[in-house]
Amino acid sequence: MDILIVNPPHPAIGSRIPKEQLPPLGLLCVGGSLLDAGHDVKLLDAELEPLSHDEIVNQVVTHRPQILMIGHSGSTSAHPIVVELTRRFRKELPNLIIIYGGVFPTYHFNDILTQEPQIDIIIRGEGEATAPKLIAAIESGNDLKNVKGIAFRRQNQIVETPPAPMIQDLDAYRVGWELIDHQRYSYYGGKRAVVMQFSRGCPHLCNYCGQRGFWARWRHRNPQKFAQEIAWLHRTHGVELFNLADENPTVNKAIWRELCEAIIAENINITIIGSTRADDIVRDADILHLYRQAGVERFLLGMENTDEATLKKIRKGGATKTDREAIRLLRQHGILSLATWVTDFEDVTDRDFIRSLRQLLLYDPDQIMTLYVTPHRWTGYYRLASQRRVIQLDRRKWDYKHQVLETINMAPWRIFLWVKFIELVLQGRPKALWRSLFQPDRAARHGMNWFSRMGWRVLLHEWKNFWFHDHRVKNGLTLEQFWGASQDHQEIPLDIRAKQEVN
């Protein structure tokens, strides 16, 4: 069948900086399995440039596919854009079959199918195995109820099929790299770049995480095959930068070491960036030299907060002492640390910001990323925050970079000023400036310079939007009234639910 996969444009500043764009890995994974099933598949990546909505609609109408599939990695904040585009697609092409996938539609399928008649089918959970089965059922006219892992309408009723089994062998499905022109994607200061996943899932129980149930338990690819794919992308397509999309690639020390050694054996000069946990870095103190030899130049450490009580509340399972030691060890091995720090908890005060600033200075991270708490309806934290009032009604801004919930003690403008002040102090202190301009490690200096340039662009963008474009409300709806009742019962990993259906 003729299938067009659409990656819609996202309004976030990170999606709109030229030459700092990454290919949509999730859509490429689905595309790869559809290509191998014999279908004619094309990708329209509207984030490149980015395309206007009119341009997207014109290209879809010109292509006239039989099936259109759409999704975005920024799933929640991209949903309003998906809604607008699919309504226009349906108006222009009444017979087009529209399939929607991603984390947000996986859990909000009932609302979407009730409110958006132009969306025909939703793929829930991992799409590589489900998509070819779904397309085969459509092509042959078979009953969609026999396809696991989807939701659709039938006679004005919403049908939810049993969850699809979790993909056990991640190497059984390939990424459809031929769907993109690698020359159009670069990141980290102009390096030709891709996103890859060595592993999926996470064994930790952070109650605010919107990914744990979607990806289910932790699995990994074959280290040798993954290293060979990296080497092939580097030698064939000139890819220099590999951004690991894993929630936690270093879960298993032996497996991660095997991967590092396999990449080293390929004898290629590449850069790897990604995310991990501070306790894994401390655990791996004796093999961090292998991280660096394999090409790891920066790891994001999800610290979330510097307050032990808050860490306990959100079930992070970390400790401030471990966080500090992880940063020290990474620096010792020439690897940059990007610390994420989340604020906007309900009872935050000036004193909390002062304490956080002091703690962050003690941590001494190379880079800092500040985020605002953004609860997802299917997580445990949503239930805890369900009676907080919503101040941001524009769902496109539910992206961790905008304040969305009311706080008891502080106005939004005061929180914003504190957050920007902390960013400026952390990135403008003498240590950070020296690391950006004068440190001898060329790779680390490049990474610091790039982050500083990006940081100023983002700062100016966020400053302008906060004061002139972002519209907040007072005495808004509660979180539960705004999004609906908690769905944390659905946060149970989908593979476990699939087994429950069988039993």
pLDDT at position 500: 47
DSSP-based three-state secondary structure for 31:
helix
Number of C-alpha atoms within 13 angstroms, CB side, residue 332?
15
SS3 475: coil
Report, as ranges of residue numbers, the positions in the chain whose pLDDT lies below 50.
314-315, 495-498, 500-503
CA dist., res. 327 & res. 336, Å (int): 8
The predicted pLDDT at position 49 comes to: 86
3-state secondary structure of 3: strand
Determine the pLDDT at residue 306: 52
Asked whether 319 and 311 are in contact (CB, 8 A), the reply is: yes
Question: Over the range 450-467, which residues count as b (16 or more CB within 10 Å of their CB) and which as e?
Answer: bbbebbeebeebbeeebe
- Model confidence pTM above 0.95: no
The neighbour count for residue 180, using CB atoms within 10 Å, is 20
What pLDDT does residue 502 have? 46
Phi, psi of 208 (to 5 degrees): -100, -10
Quick one: 181-483 is in which CATH superfamily? tm_1862 like domain (3.80.30.20)
pLDDT at 357: 93
Phi, psi of 175 (to 5 degrees): -85, 135
User: Nearest Cα to 288, choosing from 258, 323, 329?
Assistant: 329
User: Which residue ranges does the chain devote to CATH 3.80.30.20?
Assistant: 181-483
Which H or E element spans position 437?
Answer: helix 430-437
Start-end of CATH 3.40.50.280 domains in the chain? 2-160
**Cβ neighbours around 156 below 10 Å, total:** 7
Cβ contact 269:222 at 8 Å: no
Architecture of domain 2-160: 3-Layer(aba) Sandwich (3.40)
Contact 189, 450 (CB under 8 A): yes
Residue 503's pLDDT is 46
Give the Cβ contact number of residue 493 at 10 Å. Answer: 18
